[in-house]
Structure 1
Amino acid sequence: MTERRETGRSHPAKPGSRPQKTRLGAVKNTPNTSPDKARKPSGHSARTLAEPDWSEGERIAKYLARAGVASRREVERMIEAGDVVVDGVKLTSPAFKVTGRETIKVGRNIVSAPEPTRLWRYHKPSGLISTNHDPEGRRTIFDEFPKSLPRIVTVGRLDLTTEGLLLLTNDGELARALELPKNALERTYRVRAQGTVTDYKIADLAAGMTVDGVDYAPITAVFDRENGANSWLTVTLTEGKKREVRRALEAVNLMVNRLIRINYGPFELGDLRPGAVEEVPPELMLEAVGTMISEANKPLPDAPKRAAPAAKSRLGTRPGSARLGDRKRRPQK
């Protein structure tokens, strides 16, 4: 559940922008690297540029993460694969620095400068893949998103048949921070499983376990009710490893046949309809996760909320408007 995918939507270059023709190069940014020994990038001119001025700019991996391309780690893999080009030169080092005045391409797409961080809640229906492309041709969540959404990445992922809350953001750095186990953000699920819930099974989950060589941290499970051969539980965890809920419950003979995520950290699914996308207002996002957002990307607290167009899901209820459900609100007594 920790893997994420980005939309891959391209953005036009800023009007009037001019490529920077100096300071940039495809050599590794190490003190002993000689420009004369730099490898000539294939498919581009055989020019070698000077070592960049380390007093300016930020590392390309961090810059592209802030721009919503992917996480730093994923950007580093893109650079290693030769997919990142700055002013016509293919990069070989993730430590290379940029100022934002350059023309930066990932694959065939020109990357726009990072914008203020934004965050959306999405109610993923069952039957959609949480990637931007599926080799088997199955429909993905990115096929369902409104075309007006900017380049976005998912915070983690949900399996094909898992429903519920999936967070989206245009800030890869924020997405990574929300996923990290060390930040211990709770994920809460409503679970329907075949089998009988006992105190012993709940205690086994709470103690943590190892399944097929994978260690799982303690999982909190609360028995809700029994419905025929099935039991409903509310399950809370903090790691979000791949298929963690299903594997952990199967280890105590509870076979999951429906899984709905209702909370991710301070954000909740609420009454958001299947297939609907709704933006979290900037002031609430800053209040909830502001410490995880780079100062350079923080929006103004009073920035107006932009209307989020409805996605047209083929698998869920046709979405309409929904009230904000990112924070729990209960009527005052």
Structure 2
Amino acid sequence: MTQNKEGGERIQKVLAQAGVASRRHAEQLIIEGRVRVNGVRISELGCKVSIEDHIEVDGKPIKRSEKLHYYLLNKPVGVITSAHDPQGRPTVIDYMKGVPVRVYPVGRLDYDTSGALVLTNDGELAHRLMHPSYGVEKTYRVWVRSPVSLNALELLRRGVLLEDGNTAPAIVERLSGVSQTSGKSKENNLEVLEVTIHEGRNRQVRRMFAAVGYPVVKLERIRFGSLSQGYSLPTGAYRALTKEEIKELRSKVGL
């Protein structure tokens, strides 16, 4: 292990770059004593390693020269945003058949929320995309019952008081038309809105609408940063990001 502060990289960053886990999860692996360097169990987050060091997680060596992969999945409802579910429910990884490496979801979409989800083995990018300081925008299409009042719209736009504090201001727009994909549905009295936020709190959009008196009936993320799954990507399908898309994502978070 490298002792010189000028050499080597922090172990959690190396684990993230190798696609083992996000940097935050990598830190937890270290704290739990599941990481060994040159056969020695480590528990210090500040530990630095060099290219010559042999790193194992749960007894398995990591591959540090793995090629980085980036994908966009149109996540279905009823799927867990995780690499594994103890209850045996389907996960987003089940939909990534044919991907040659282990990839991990960037952030989470609720079990009952569909839409755009990025998966990658680029741990550093994943860490930054999820960190609130980088302000990566996410846009959701939201279905609610009955027209939303002007007062509720203003509250959503200014910020809503939740149990974990006020939300940041959001961009909230009504959609025009009368179909299930835009506007108000006359058949079942649903109104559809688009909401853009840059925070990543647990079930945030659902909690925001519930707080102003309009529980969400259906929720779909239609855009993550500059990426839109569009309706050309069928539910449950994925595609590789283009070089331009990867470059734009990395540029957004200073990489």
Q: Under a length normalisation based on structure 2, what TM-score does the superposition of the two structures give?
A: 0.89
Counting only pairs closer than 5 Å after superposition, residues 1-333 of structure 1 correspond to structure 2 as 24=1, 52-224=3-175, 225-227=183-185, 228-270=188-230, 271-290=232-251, 292=253
Instruction: Supply the distance in 2 between the matched residues of 1:66 and 1:213 (Cα, whole angstroms).
Output: 31
Ranges in structure 1 where 5+ consecutive residues have no aligned partner: 1-23, 25-50, 295-333
- What amino acid sits opposite 1:241 in the alignment? R
* Kept after mapping to 2: 8 A contact 1:191/1:260: yes
Q: Deviations over 1:62-93 (max 9, x none)?
A: 11111112232321211111100112111121
- What amino acid sits opposite 1:216 in the alignment? T
Q: CA separation of 1:177/1:55 partners in 2, compared to 1, >3 Å: closer, same or farther?
A: closer
- What amino acid sits opposite 1:226 in the alignment? K
Q: CA separation of 1:136/1:116 partners in 2, compared to 1, >3 Å: closer, same or farther?
A: closer
Aligned length: 245
Q: Deviations over 1:296-323 (max 9, x none)?
A: xxxxxxxxxxxxxxxxxxxxxxxxxxxx
Shift of 1:135: 2.5
Question: Whose RCO is larger (CA < 8 A, sep 6+)?
Answer: 2
Q: CA separation of 1:53/1:204 partners in 2, compared to 1, >3 Å: closer, same or farther?
A: closer
Ranges in structure 2 where 5+ consecutive residues have no aligned partner: 176-182
* Kept after mapping to 1: 8 A contact 2:106/2:118: yes
SS of residue paired to 2:207: helix
Give the greater-gyration-radius structure (CA).
1
* Kept after mapping to 2: 8 A contact 1:195/1:253: no
Instruction: Supply the distance in 2 between the matched residues of 1:275 and 1:189 (Cα, whole angstroms).
Output: 18
SS of residue paired to 1:75: helix
Say which is worse superposed, 182-191 or 53-62, in terms of deviation. Answer: 53-62
Shift of 1:259: 0.7
Instruction: Supply the distance in 2 between the matched residues of 1:288 and 1:126 (Cα, whole angstroms).
Output: 25
* Structure number having the greater strand percentage: 2
* Kept after mapping to 2: 8 A contact 1:66/1:114: no
- What amino acid sits opposite 1:188 in the alignment? T
SS of residue paired to 2:71: strand
